[in-house]
A = this chain, B = another copy of it.
């Protein structure tokens, strides 16, 4: 029975709260109830811990996007579902999502370049979907890659300030960002067709 998931969970939270460089192995050890040297029976290094967190995050994000798009054949609906999935990710995996956008400079090469590449591939998935909407004439987007960056930046912001006890509920935010993405793309058909998918 390995305790490495527990250690990783503690690390994500501490990286989220204080930043990678501002939190020490001693801090992580305290949270899981060990001495710092004991951690090394379960993990390789602090850097590897960060790497695992970040690559797992982008992997989950990409998988979420694909399964959201697979839920419909209508481009508009796919865009909305993808935006909702991204919102869900930034709420339910908030610490991981935040670390992923903010700790890229803390990642050592070659991992940093690899992660940037994977993040870019994620944005390109968005751009492709948008381009399909443009081709079908239901979306207006002179610069699909730029607006893809915009949508991702916009929703990523949520991980910075979201609080479960805040004034907007999870459901309201998911609905909000889904609609907002469509407004940004100046979609023709904006009304959700409930129970229709």
Write out, one digit per residue, whether chain A residues 107-133 have a CB within 8 A of any chain B CB (1) or not (0): 000000000000000000000000000
Q: Is the CB of A184 within 8 A of B176?
A: no
- In the bound complex, how far is the Cα of B154 from the Cα of A186, in angstroms? 17
Copies, count: 2
A96 to chain B, nearest CB (A): 16
Q: Is the CB of B161 within 8 A of A149?
A: yes
A21 contacts the other chain (Cβ, under 8 Å)? yes
Q: Is the interface of A mostly helix, strand, loop or mixed?
A: helix
Write out, one digit per residue, whether chain A residues 129-162 have a CB within 8 A of any chain B CB (1) or not (0): 0000000000000010011011011101110110
A5 to chain B, nearest CB (A): 25
A183 contacts the other chain (Cβ, under 8 Å)? yes
A7 contacts the other chain (Cβ, under 8 Å)? no
Chain B residues with Cβ below 8 Å from A22 are 21, 105-106
Q: Is the CB of B157 within 8 A of A105?
A: no
Instruction: Select A150's contact among B101, B143, B154, beta carbons within 8 Å.
Output: B154
